[in-house]
């Protein structure tokens, strides 16, 4: 099949999922084109995915270059030039809208449009009144809609009054990369390593990460690795200084080989307000790192409480810290949890299984008569 994928290239789960999907589909013999403002950071130069950049066209009349139109135009061009069967948009705003425009602009070619909803495109951006009507219209125009969890499907139906719920196709991990082979064990005593990775947006509650860690390191020697970057990073570094734990916390920015950090960490903390899925939690689990996360959104579909990690009420610093300390207290129980985390990640969310679901979805959409 010939597939054009569009996504945000910035740090964030939707771009990661779109890029991994593009690479996985190309490995399985499909012709895949990736259309984005910049080359997504997870797409290596060696990939057989064909990358097309979207031009930023400036003109004195424009206060802001109309990116969404340039994206639609580039998608239409790629569709016609390469006889694309399916445009797969990731993150509804603006990609679903641009993809629908592209499908019309590509006429007389018939191209089907699939959109995958990732979370904040529905909960924060798409449902904002500035985007709501156009976002709902684009979703209804799509030939297929998927969401990354049951929770997100339910939220979408509620927020947009949809008659047909989006199909659920969860996120996935690549076993070749995210594995527990070579991971470090939990020491009986001595320093433990805690990790958090995100785009440091308010929804991630990064201050909670620091406060939970502050409590952990009062009980046993510990180090915190903060991976990623984003708007709350500066204020988070200030909080670390205020609490006097600068020598215990490393802000390492975005990391190319994040799997090595997961394997060297004994616990992953994700105290978000909610996550539609929580891709970073899944990647940590695949590397054998137990997760302490919020009992919120789709995280309950990824983490089995007491088996692969712990789920705590949002904002309860003491509960998070107590759960983390309990997991770190017993190396035998920790090893069992680490093994379960890796096994569940691979059994339930393995790349081949999920890619097969996307292929079946495309087949169904392409086979459906043109409306």
DSSP 131-150: THHHHHHHHHH-SEEEESSH
* 263 contacts 288 by C-beta, under 8 angstroms: yes
Q: Which of 36, 146, 156, 171 binds ligand GMT (CB under 6 A)?
A: 171
In total, the chain counts a number of residues equal to 371
Closest to 22 in 3D by CA, of 349, 339, 351, 242: 351
DSSP H or E segment with residue 357? helix 351-367
Residue with tokens 């590397």: 287
What is residue 49's DSSP assignment? S
Which stretch, 19-27, 157-165, 275-283, 321-329, contacts ligand GMT (CB under 6 A)?
275-283
Residue 276 binds ligand GMT, judged by CB under 6 A = yes
Residue 155 binds ligand GMT, judged by CB under 6 A = no
The edge-to-edge listing of strands for the beta sheet with 249-253 is 249-253, 222-227, 192-197, 267-270, 291-294, 309-312
Which stretch, 34-42, 210-218, 273-281, 314-322, contacts ligand GMT (CB under 6 A)?
273-281
Residue 103 binds ligand GMT, judged by CB under 6 A = no
Q: Which residues of 349-366 are buried (b: 16+ CB within 10 A; e: fewer)?
A: bebeebbeebbebbeebb
Q: Which of 79, 115, 199, 217 binds ligand GMT (CB under 6 A)?
A: 199
Residue 289 binds ligand GMT, judged by CB under 6 A = no
Using CB under 6 A, count the residues that bind ligand GMT.
18
Residue 148 binds ligand GMT, judged by CB under 6 A = yes
Q: Which of 19, 98, 103, 120 binds ligand GMT (CB under 6 A)?
A: 120
Nearer to ligand GMT, 68 or 77 (CB): 68
Q: Which of 30, 52, 88, 118 binds ligand GMT (CB under 6 A)?
A: 118
Report the C-alpha gap between 135 and 184 in whole angstroms: 45
CB of 253 vs ligand GMT, minimal distance in Å? 17
Nearer to ligand GMT, 216 or 355 (CB): 355
Q: Which residues 13-42 are close enough to bind ligand GMT by CB under 6 A?
A: 13-14, 17
Backbone angles phi, psi at 145, to 5 degrees: -130, 130
- Contact footprint for ligand GMT (CB under 6 A): 12-14, 17, 91, 118-120, 148, 171, 199, 201, 203, 275-279
């Amino acid at each position: 099949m010939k597939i054009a994928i569009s996504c945000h290239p910035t740090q964030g789960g939707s771009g990661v999922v779109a890029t991994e999907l593009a690479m996985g589909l190309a490995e399985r013999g499909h012709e895949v084109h990736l259309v984005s403002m910049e080359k997504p950071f997870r797409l290596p130069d060696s990939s057989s995915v064909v990358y097309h950049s979207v031009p930023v066209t400036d003109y004195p009349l424009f206060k802001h270059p109309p990116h969404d139109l340039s994206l639609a135009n580039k998608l239409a061009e790629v569709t016609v030039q390469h006889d694309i069967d399916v445009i797969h948009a990731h993150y509804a705003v603006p990609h679903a809208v641009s993809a629908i425009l592209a499908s019309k602009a590509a006429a007389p070619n018939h191209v089907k449009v699939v959109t995958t909803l990732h979370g904040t495109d529905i909960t924060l951006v798409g449902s904002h009144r500035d985007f709501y009507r156009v976002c709902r219209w684009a979703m209804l125009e799509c030939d297929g809609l998927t969401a990354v969890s049951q929770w997100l499907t339910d939220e979408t139906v509620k927020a947009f009054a949809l008659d047909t719920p989006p199909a659920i196709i969860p996120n996935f991990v690549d076993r070749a990369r995210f594995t527990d082979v070579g991971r470090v064990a939990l020491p009986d005593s001595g320093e433990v390593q805690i990790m958090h990775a995100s785009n440091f947006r308010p929804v991630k509650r990064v201050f909670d990460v620091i406060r939970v860690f502050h409590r952990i390191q009062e009980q046993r020697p510990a180090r915190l690795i903060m991976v990623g970057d984003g708007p709350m990073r500066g204020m988070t570094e200030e909080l670390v200084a205020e609490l006097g734990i600068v020598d215990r916390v490393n802000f390492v920015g975005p990391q190319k080989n994040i799997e090595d950090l997961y394997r060297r960490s004994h616990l992953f903390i994700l105290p978000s307000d909610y996550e539609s899925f929580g891709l970073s939690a899944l990647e940590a689990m695949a590397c054998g790192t137990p997760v302490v996360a919020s009992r919120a959104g789709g995280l309950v579909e990824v983490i089995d409480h007491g088996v692969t990690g712990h789920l705590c009420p949002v904002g309860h610093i003491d509960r998070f810290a107590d759960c983390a300390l309990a997991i770190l207290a017993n190396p035998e129980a920790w090893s069992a949890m680490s093994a379960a985390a890796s096994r569940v990640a691979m059994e339930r969310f393995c790349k081949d299984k999920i890619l097969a679901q996307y292929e079946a979805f495309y087949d169904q959409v392409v086979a459906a008569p043109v409306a």
